[in-house]
C-alpha cells in the first residue's frame, strides 16, 4: 500500500435510496464537516438537503451532457467526475463525495477517485450505504439466503457467456440500458429487450413471472412492484431506476452423492475441556 504523504483526504459516502432517512450518522457527519461535498445524487430533494448541510457544494450531474459531444461517451463523463473530485483533494481539502444508494455499487466514479487518490499519496476511504438491493430485499420480502442469489448488470449478462442458475434468485440491474453498446444513450429499445428475453428463455419458461422493481426515493413516491410474464418484458415501461427481479423458476435439487459423502465422514472428536 502506498503511504499517505499528502494533506488532502477523500471520503466517499452513500445517501441511501430515500431522502435523508437512510444516511448513516457517520456519513452525515462527513457531509457536514468536510471542506467540500461533491455530489452525484440525481434526486433533487436529496441534493437540496445535502447542499444545506455542506460548507461548499459541487454538483457534477451536468457532466452527463458530455455524451452529446462527438467522440465522448459515459466513460469520459465518469472520468471527468472523478477528476473533479481529485482536483479538490489535490488542493489539500477534506472532500466528501456523495453518491445515492451505496457509493461502491454501480458507482465506478468512487472507485476511480479512491484508486487514484491513494496512488497519489492521499487518504481515501469508502463508507457503506443503503443500496437499491437492500431496499429490494425489504420491499419484496425476499431472503437471498433461501435459494441463493445471482446479481449482474443487464447488458453484461447479455453480451457475455454467464452460467445462470434458474433455481436461484436472479437480479438484473439497469434493464433500461439493455444492449446499449454505444455508451452514449440512456435508453434501450423493444428489439434489444427481446434479445434479452430470448437469452433468458434458455433458462426460464416464457410464462415465468418476473418483477419490475423501483425503490421509492421520497415519501411522495410509491415503490413499484409490477409482476409480469417474461414474454411481456419488451412492452413494459422501463426507466433508469427499474430493476428486473427473476424469482427461482425451479426447486433446488439435492446432490445425493455429496450428501452421502458428508454422511460417511467420521464424527469430529470432541475436545476435552479442563475442569474449572
Greater confidence (186 vs 230) lies with: 230
Contacts of 137 (CB under 8 A, 6+ apart): 143, 144
Is 175 domain-assigned? Answer: yes
* 34 in the same domain as 138: no
Q: Is residue 61 part of a domain?
A: yes
Give the pLDDT confidence score for residue 186 in this predicted structure.
74
| 13 and 125 fall within a common domain | yes
Describe the crossing of helices 25-33 and 44-53 by its angle, rounded to 10 degrees: 60
Burial class of 66 by CB neighbour count within 10 A (0 to 12, 13 to 18, 19+): middle
DSSP class of 72: -
CA pair distance 216, 213, nearest whole angstrom: 10
pLDDT of 276 over the 60 cut: no
Whether residue 226 sits in one domain with residue 239: yes
Number of domains forming the structure of the chain: 2
Given 63, 100, 122, 204, which residue is catalytic?
A: 100
Domain for residue 267, yes or no?
A: no
Instruction: Assess whether 137 and 229 both reside in one domain.
Output: yes
Q: What is the mean pLDDT of residues 168-188?
A: 88
Give catalytic status of residue 160 as yes or no.
no
Catalytic residue among 30, 63, 78, 204: 78
Strands (E) located in the chain? 9-14, 36-39, 57-59, 94-99, 123-126, 149-153, 169-173, 209-214, 224-229, 243-246
Contact 18, 215 (CB under 8 A): yes
User: What domain range includes position 54?
Assistant: 9-130
Among the options 18, 47, 63, 74, which is catalytic? 74
Note whether 20 and 78 are same-domain residues. Answer: yes
Active site residue 100: yes
Q: What is the pLDDT of residue 171?
A: 98
User: What is the CATH classification number for the domain harbouring 35?
Assistant: 3.40.1010.10
Tell me: pLDDT of 71 over 80: no
pLDDT for 182 beyond 90: no
Residues 41 and 126 in one domain: yes
The answer to whether residues 118 and 169 belong to one domain is no
pLDDT tens readout for residues 17-69: 987 689 999 999 999 999 999 998 888 888 999 999 999 999 998 888 766 66
Does 275 map to a domain?
no
Is residue 39 situated within a structural domain?
yes
What number is the average pLDDT over the span 192-197? 97
Structure confidence by residue, pLDDT tens digits, 97-137: 999 999 999 889 999 999 999 999 999 999 999 999 999 99
In-domain check, residue 272 = no
Residue 275 pLDDT more than 50?
Answer: no
**Distance (Å, whole) CA 5 – CA 117:** 11
CATH number at residue 236: 3.30.950.10
pTM of the model: 0.85
Whether 252 shows a pLDDT value over 90: the answer reads yes
Please indicate, yes or no, whether residues 113 and 15 belong to a single structural domain of this protein. Answer: yes
Is 82 found in the same domain as 155? Answer: no
Question: Is 80 labeled as catalytic in the residue annotation?
Answer: no
Residue 270: predicted pLDDT: 66
Average pLDDT for 187-203: 96
Q: Report how far residue 173's alpha carbon sits from residue 107's, in angstroms, rounded to the nearest whole number.
A: 13
Q: If pLDDT is split at 50, 70 and 90, which confidence band does 268 have?
A: low
Amino acid at each position: 500500500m502506498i503511504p499517505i504523504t499528502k494533506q488532502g483526504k477523500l471520503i466517499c459516502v452513500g445517501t441511501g435510496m430515500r431522502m435523508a432517512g437512510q444516511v448513516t450518522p457517520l456519513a452525515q457527519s462527513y457531509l457536514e464537516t468536510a471542506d467540500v461535498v461533491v455530489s452525484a445524487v440525481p434526486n433533487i430533494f436529496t441534493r437540496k438537503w445535502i447542499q444545506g448541510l455542506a460548507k461548499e457544494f459541487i454538483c457534477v450531474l451536468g457532466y452527463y451532457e458530455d455524451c452529446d459531444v462527438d467522440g465522448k461517451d459515459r466513460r469520459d463523463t465518469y472520468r471527468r467526475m472523478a477528476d473533479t473530485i481529485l482536483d479538490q483533494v489535490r488542493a489539500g481539502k477534506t472532500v466528501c463525495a456523495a453518491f445515492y444508494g451505496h457509493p461502491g455499487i454501480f458507482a465506478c466514479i468512487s472507485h476511480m477517485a479512491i484508486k487514484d487518490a491513494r496512488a497519489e499519496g492521499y487518504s481515501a476511504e469508502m463508507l457503506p450505504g443503503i443500496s437499491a438491493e437492500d431496499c429490494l430485499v425489504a420491499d419484496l420480502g425476499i431472503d437471498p439466503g433461501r435459494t441463493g442469489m445471482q446479481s449482474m448488470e443487464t447488458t453484461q449478462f447479455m453480451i457475455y457467456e454467464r452460467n445462470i442458475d434458474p433455481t436461484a434468485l436472479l437480479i438484473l440491474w439497469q434493464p433500461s440500458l439493455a444492449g446499449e453498446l454505444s455508451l452514449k444513450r440512456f435508453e434501450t429499445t423493444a428489439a434489444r429487450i427481446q434479445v434479452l428475453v430470448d437469452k433468458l428463455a434458455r433458462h426460464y419458461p416464457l410464462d415465468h413471472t418476473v418483477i419490475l422493481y423501483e425503490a421509492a426515493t421520497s415519501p411522495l413516491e410509491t415503490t413499484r412492484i409490477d409482476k409480469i410474464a417474461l414474454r411481456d418484458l419488451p412492452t413494459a415501461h422501463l426507466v433508469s431506476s427499474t430493476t428486473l427481479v427473476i424469482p427461482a423458476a425451479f426447486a433446488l435439487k439435492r446432490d445425493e452423492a455429496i450428501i452421502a459423502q458428508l454422511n460417511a465422514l467420521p464424527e469430529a472428536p470432541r475436545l476435552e475441556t479442563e475442569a474449572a
